Amino acid sequence: MKRVLVTGANGFVGRHALAPLLERGYEVHAAGLGPRPAFLPPSAQWHDTDLLTPAAREALLEAARPSHLLHFAWYAAHGLFWTSPENLRWVEASLALMRRFREAGGVRLVAAGSCAEYQVQEGACSEEETPCRPSTLYGVCKNAVQEILGAYSRATGLGSAWGRIFFLYGPSEHPDRLVASVIRALLEGRAARCTDGLQVRDFLHVEDVAAAFVALLDSDVTGPVNVASGRAVEVRTVVEAIARQLGRPELVELGALPTRPGEPPTITARTRRLEREVGFEPSLGMEEGLARTIESYRKESGTT
C-alpha cells in the first residue's frame, strides 16, 4: 500500500491533488494548519500540523508513516512572499521534513518549485539548459532546496523530483491575482483595470497543475520538471477570453495600469520532460479552464 503525505493540502494547489491520488490507489494523508477542511475527500485523513515546529513534524511522520511525500507547503502570502524572511524558515522546515521522511523509510518525494528559480530570459525555460539565477529571496530559497534535494537523493538513493510551477489559475485563487481579479470585477460589473497585457506567460489550470504533480510522483522521473502547458500566451489574450465568456468586453481596460518595473516580458516553459518522460497532458484547455473558474466564482458570489 502506497501511503502519501501531502503538505499544504489546504492550499491552492494541494487541495486538488487529493482526489487524483485516491484514484491512483494511494492512502492519502493530508496535512495543513487548522481544522479538517470541508472540501477534503472523505477517505483522506487530515493532520492539523504546524510544519515549522520540529515536534509537530515528527508527530506527523509518526502518524502518517508515508512511503511517498508530496510537499506543497511554503510561505505564500500574496505580494509578501518574494522577499519575506519566512522563506528561510520554509527552507529549514522543508529540508528537515524531507530528511526525516527518508530516515523513517520514505522512498519517493516530489516538492513544489517555481519558475522564479530560473534566470529571466527571452526563450522558453528548459530544465537542462536555462541557468538558475533567481532574482528574489523566494526563488533563491526554492532553488537551494531543489539543489540540496537533488544531491541528497544522489547520496542516499532517495527517489525525488521537483515540479517547477509557472502561472496557474483556477477556483480559490487569491482574489488579487490576475485571473481571479478580472473575473470578480466583471461579475460585479466593475471595470477590470489591467496593464497592456503584452507580457507572455504560460498558464495552466490549477487542477492540471495538481494532476501533473500526482503523475510526477507516480513516475520514476528525477530532478526538476516544468509544470506548465507549454503554450505561450499574451496576458491580454487571457483577459479578453474571460471578458468574452462573461459578455462584458467593454469593462476591460487594457493599458490602464503601468507594467511593473523589471517585469520580464516573457516567462514560458519547455514541457518535454512533463509530456514525454512523465507522460502528462493537461486535460483543460484555456477556454474550458477559464469557464470552470468563472463557474466557481459565480457560485461563490451567488451570481448566475
Please identify which residue in 33, 56, 63, 95 interacts with a second copy, judged by CB under 8 A.
95
x/- site string to a second copy, residues 112 to 141, per CB under 8 A?
Answer: ----------------------x-xx--xx
> Judged by CB under 8 A, does residue 36 bind a second copy?
no
> Judged by CB under 8 A, does residue 271 bind a second copy?
no
Please tell me the distance from the alpha carbon of residue 218 to that of residue 68, in angstroms, as a whole number: 9
Our CB check for a second copy shows the closer of 54 and 255 to be 54
Helix axis angle, 178-187 relative to 235-246, nearest 10°? 30
**Nearest residue to 280 via CA among 289, 271, 293:** 271
- Strand duo 68-71 + 108-114: pairing: parallel
Please identify which residue in 34, 41, 54, 105 interacts with a second copy, judged by CB under 8 A.
54
On whether the CB atoms of residues 280 and 274 are closer than 8 A, the answer is yes
Please identify which residue in 83, 119, 259, 301 interacts with a second copy, judged by CB under 8 A.
83
> Judged by CB under 8 A, does residue 78 bind a second copy?
no
Our CB check for a second copy shows the closer of 11 and 134 to be 134
Q: How far is the CB of 141 from a second copy (least distance, A)?
A: 6
Our CB check for a second copy shows the closer of 141 and 228 to be 141
> Three cell numbers at 245?
465568456
> Judged by CB under 8 A, does residue 85 bind a second copy?
yes
Please tell me the distance from the alpha carbon of residue 201 to that of residue 167, in angstroms, as a whole number: 7
User: 203 has which bridge partners?
Assistant: 167
> Three cell numbers at 256?
490602464
Our CB check for a second copy shows the closer of 83 and 283 to be 83
Our CB check for a second copy shows the closer of 54 and 123 to be 54
On whether the CB atoms of residues 178 and 303 are closer than 8 A, the answer is no
Our CB check for a second copy shows the closer of 80 and 256 to be 80
The count of chain residues that interact with a second copy, using the rule CB under 8 A, is 31
> Three cell numbers at 36?
479538517
**Nearest residue to 194 via CA among 240, 250, 255, 244:** 255
Q: How far is the CB of 137 from a second copy (least distance, A)?
A: 4
Our CB check for a second copy shows the closer of 83 and 303 to be 83
> Three cell numbers at 248?
462584458
Contacting a second copy within 148-187 (CB under 8 A): 148, 150-152, 154-156
Please tell me the distance from the alpha carbon of residue 199 to that of residue 178, in angstroms, as a whole number: 12
Our CB check for a second copy shows the closer of 12 and 81 to be 81
Q: How far is the CB of 170 from a second copy (least distance, A)?
A: 30
On whether the CB atoms of residues 69 and 101 are closer than 8 A, the answer is yes
Between the alpha carbon of residue 138 and those of residues 74, 85, 114, the distances in Å are 10, 9, 9
Contacts to a second copy by CB under 8 A: 54, 83-85, 87-89, 91-92, 95-96, 98-99, 102-103, 134, 136-137, 140-141, 143-145, 147-148, 150-152, 154-156
